[in-house]
Amino acid sequence: MTRKGPEILIYGIGNPGRQDDALGILLAEKIEQWAAELCYSFITVEQCYQLNIEDAELISHYDLVIFLDASVKEEITDISIERVTPHLKTDFNMHSVTPAFVAGLSENIYSRIPEIFQLHIKASKFNFMEPLTGEAAENLDRAFIHLKEFIIAWLARKKSGTS
């Protein structure tokens, strides 16, 4: 198959049954709908409760990968996006892995590393079967606007040949 342009993977992480933990999944769904409305067939959306080592093979097929996840980091007030640097360091427990570890595996096994970013969305409550908190819902809206702008800017840089 011949590729006509860059391929983008949006990967929502979270548990939709755990209040604000649903943020990554909900944002992925919003981006999927937006991409469909614009006929952006080069955007693929995946969702999962957590990353696994098998995701290294998945990301190796894309030019840009953006992981979306709820965050409780104190330094994040609403949303934050950061470039992911691949590495193979992990905790002894391999129940779930980080985007950086998945990127490191992709680089190590498949000799392929896309541009990878992680979008953190500030969350505060993780109760079972509860709706998003008001603050998380506002952060979801901010994240949606920011992510659309990020994707459009990234595509423009690729089209112009700048990084």
Q: How confident is the model at residue 95 (pLDDT cuts 50, 70, 90)?
A: low
Give the number of C-alpha atoms closer than 13 A to the C-alpha of residue 76, restricted to the C-beta side. 21
Instruction: Say which DSSP state 81 is in.
Output: E
Q: Is the confidence at residue 153, as pLDDT, over 60?
A: yes
8-160: what fold?
Answer: Rossmann fold (3.40.50)
Q: pLDDT, tens digit, for every residue of 25-81?
A: 999 999 999 999 999 999 999 999 999 999 999 999 999 999 999 999 999 999 999
| Domain map (residue ranges) of the chain | 8-160
Q: Which residues contact 147 (CB under 8 A, 6 or more apart)?
A: 10, 27, 31, 66, 68, 119
Query: Could you tell me which residue, 143 or 88, shows the higher pLDDT?
Result: 143
pLDDT for 1 = 44
Handedness of CA 132, 14, 157, 162 (dihedral sign): positive
Token pair listed for 41: 């067939």
Indicate the pTM of the whole model.
0.93
